[in-house]
Amino acid sequence: MTNNLKELTWEHHKSAERTEFTSVILSGEISPKLYYEYLCAQHECYSALEEAVELPAEYETVFRAGAIMEDMDELASLYGLEPPEEYESVSEYVEHINNLAAADDNDGLLAHLYVRHFGDMSGGQIIRTRVPGAGTMYDFDDIDNLKTGIRGLLTDEMAIEAGVCFQFVEQMFNELLHKNDYYFNNEYAQSVGTKFYDEEEMMDE
Amino acid sequence: MKSKLEKLTADIKQIFDKNFTRYANPKHVHHFQGWHDVFWHNHPYVRKCHLKIIDRMEDRKLWLLHINIFPAEGYDFPILGCDVVSGPNKISGSFFDYSPVLNKAHPMMKHFENETADLSWKRPRPLPDWATPIFSKNMIAAGAVKEEEVDQFCEVTIKLIEWYVNNLEEYAKPTKIDIKPMLNRYCINQKKNDKLHKSIIAMGVPEDKKDDYVNNVLFEEIG
């Protein structure tokens, strides 16, 4: 089965790529704290989605919640980070996923899986080289096989719901930046003269 | 039959007039024999409420009622849709739905489900392919509606329209998600209904004016 989901969601895809958060994460210099908070937010989103979506067992290795948790634990241990307070955009997203599940709309849930998990299997492979930690969430057993198999479950009618997913992702990006003062790691931030996390100053306050 | 449907229409108009504000739709420029269109809005929740009647019972044995209420951008609640196509002695098609926009498990749809769960129709109408992606699974779709079923349809219609209008403030959920694609899909799919186009042409409306009316008044897509 073929579909044109990529073309039908292209504008949303490009819009997400043009966000400030994407430029920060692709800079290779994102602060461990901001990336950790991103992982925490993602973990909530992925857990809700993967709990709700019905997928043939052979494709369940695509699920990421466990690997995201591993990455969170690694960063928390390395940098002494604490989970952030709840993000409004994440709560609204989880509610939306639960509503799709309540309406037995598995196609709607698959549209979200397409945006998130195909993104991790595609652009995520570049992101993994530019973020702190091991990037376990970007480790997939057999990307080609997973993509081919899951693509067979997708249809063009999922484009509108995929667009909804992209919008929630952008809202989450904006909230992450809005709630964090320091986007970059200290060494990079000092070298380019932007704000950085000054541990002594923070202790004085 | 016609008197019952005219009473239903008058009651619905009264509900809309009580809660919404009438406006002159500048895109509604063509006027055809027996056609009667009224438009309302309700800030901030309702972008457009449209009630249309075609009364050609005398010459073409056809009476038609169409109602749509579309949410305004920034709010998520179901689209209300109601259509009745009637001849002198029976309703050949009666349809009513709260159709999902963003939340497919919206509490208003749950109310619709509860209110219609015990209703049955002698001739349920199967939905065509264009309809299933936009309507709810609990939609009322009945054909060959006669006698006591007409009363049942009128009762549930007025009840569900009144409840919808009176509960908008409570259930119109603000959302930052752009709902235009969902509203446009509803209109795009409705326009795939061959019967819609054929029935207007059959009333002697020229093709270009039919297209103008369907695209800019009846099922206007928003940019």
Which CATH number goes with the domain that contains B170? 3.40.1500.20
Identify whether B181 is part of a domain. Answer: no
Per-residue pLDDT of chain B (223 residues; tens, 9 = 90+): 788 899 999 999 999 999 999 999 988 888 888 999 999 998 899 999 999 999 988 888 889 999 999 999 999 999 999 999 998 888 888 999 999 999 999 999 999 999 999 988 888 888 999 999 999 999 999 887 787 888 999 999 999 999 999 999 999 999 999 999 999 999 999 999 998 998 888 888 889 999 999 999 999 999 8
In which residue are the tokens 């909230």 written?
Answer: A175
Measured CA to CA, the distance from residue B158 to residue A96 in angstroms comes to 30
Check if the beta carbon of residue B20 is closer than 8 Å to that of residue B40. Answer: yes
- Reading the block at residue A175, the tokens are 């909230």
What's the burial of A191, exposed, middle or buried (CB within 10 Å: 0-12/13-18/19+)? exposed
Cα dihedral value A91, A92, A96, A102, nearest 10: 50
When scoring A89, A155, A158, A160 by the number of chain B Cβ atoms within 10 A, the one with the most, hence best to mutate, is A160
User: Coil, strand, or helix at residue B192?
Assistant: coil
Domain boundaries, chain A: 5-204
Residues 6+ apart with CB under 8 A from A153: A55, A56, A110
**To the nearest whole angstrom, how far is the Cα of A173 from the nearest Cα of chain B?**
14
**To the nearest whole angstrom, how far is the Cα of A35 from the nearest Cα of chain B?**
24
What CATH fold (topology level) applies to the domain A5-204?
Heme Oxygenase; Chain A (1.20.910)
Q: Does B188 touch chain A (CB under 8 A)?
A: no
How does strand B46-56 pair with strand B35-42? antiparallel
Identify whether B30 is part of a domain. Answer: yes
Identify whether B18 is part of a domain. Answer: yes
Check if the beta carbon of residue B156 is closer than 8 Å to that of residue B116. Answer: yes
Number of domains chain B contains: 1
- Reading the block at residue A149, the tokens are 């198999």
The pLDDT of residue B135 is 96
Residues 6+ apart with CB under 8 A from B110: none
Domain of residue B139 covers 2-175
Measured CA to CA, the distance from residue B199 to residue B61 in angstroms comes to 13
Q: Which runs of consecutive H residues, i.e. helices, occur in chain B? A: 2-19, 57-60, 107-116, 148-166, 168-171, 180-190, 194-202, 207-213
Identify whether B9 is part of a domain. Answer: yes
Using CB atoms, which residue from A102, A164, A171 is nearest to B102?
A164
Q: Does A96 touch chain B (CB under 8 A)?
A: yes
**To the nearest whole angstrom, how far is the Cα of A44 from the nearest Cα of chain B?**
19
A-B contacts (CB, under 8 Å)? 28
